[in-house]
Amino acid sequence: MSDKNKIEMAEKFVKDKMARYDSGHDWWHITRVRNLSAYINEKENLEDPLLVDLAALFHDFADSKFESGNQAESVEQLSMFLDDNGLGTFSSRIINIVQEVSFSSRKKEPGVKNDLLRIVQDADRLDAIGAIGVARAFNYGGYRNNIIYSPVEGENRYSTINHFYEKLLLLRAMMNTETARILARERHEFLELFLKQFYLEWNCGSF
Ligand code: ADP
Ligand code: NI
């Protein structure tokens, strides 16, 4: 099987699984993370481009929010798929990414990260900030039926604006690669601009 065929098989396999995910984890998030990962890898020249593409493609394959309790099963499915489709040599590295990016990284930051993880994690985090990040956050908040914001502190804890402070504004400082740090700068500034305008409009006339 050619590399192109292997990628096509893998795309179909992921797409079928993604069809059950919410739109914050949809196919186009995967596509953007693949593109960002390829870009970072090209600039930094760190890993085999085929491996980077596959790792990005599979990075959310066993996401805990959507696969509660079934992470081990997802990893097993993935392992079988890779073996059956001539990708067994990449198996352990891809599974490592799935485990670190999809769920383990939520609980802890691994001490030493390999280059593949550094790339895919940066790409995933870049897609959570900037204009796309704002869109994804409100999309997710709507899906969860969360309020957008409340000036009442207790209520605001559950708002999408609060998610900016809990996560989105922290991501710029967490980038692993120089290339991602450069991309993160503009996206972070956009988050700040968005918040500034949001509060300006929220407070309009309420003096
Ligand atoms: P990742 O793709 O990095 O694994 P998550 O699974 O944590 O990201 O979240 C998917 C998307 O939903 C991200 O854009 C994230 O910012 C957003 N999101 C997650 N939790 C919340 C929340 N409580 N409120 C608003 N957006 C959220
Ligand atoms: Ni992701």
- Atom nearest to 101 CA in ligand 1: 4
Position 185 confidence tier, pLDDT thresholds 50, 70, 90: very high
Atom 26 (ligand 1) nearest CA: 137
Atom 23 (ligand 1) nearest CA: 163
- Which of 97, 167, 174 most suits a substitution to test ligand 1, by most atoms within 8 Å of the C-beta? 167
Could you tell me the two tokens for 25? 């984890």
Position 105 confidence tier, pLDDT thresholds 50, 70, 90: low
pLDDT(70) > 90: no
Share of residues in the chain with pLDDT > 90 (%): 77
Other C-beta atoms lying within 10 Å of the C-beta of residue 39:
16
Single-letter amino acid, residue 39: Y
How far is ligand 1, taken at its centre, from the CA of residue 171, in Å? 12
How far is ligand 2, taken at its centre, from the CA of residue 132, in Å? 13
- Ligand approaching nearest to the C-alpha of 28: 2
Question: Quick one: residue 49, left, alpha or beta (phi over 0 = left, psi -120 to 50 = alpha)?
Answer: alpha
What does the alpha-carbon distance between residue 108 and residue 170 come to, in Å, rounded to a whole number? Answer: 15
pTM exceeds 0.75, yes or no: yes
**Ordered domains of the chain (ranges, CATH):** 3-202 (1.10.3210.50)
Q: Where are the beta strands (DSSP E) in the chain?
A: none
27 vs 102, more confident: 27
What does the alpha-carbon distance between residue 75 and residue 152 come to, in Å, rounded to a whole number? Answer: 42
- Which of 132, 140, 148 most suits a substitution to test ligand 1, by most atoms within 8 Å of the C-beta? 140
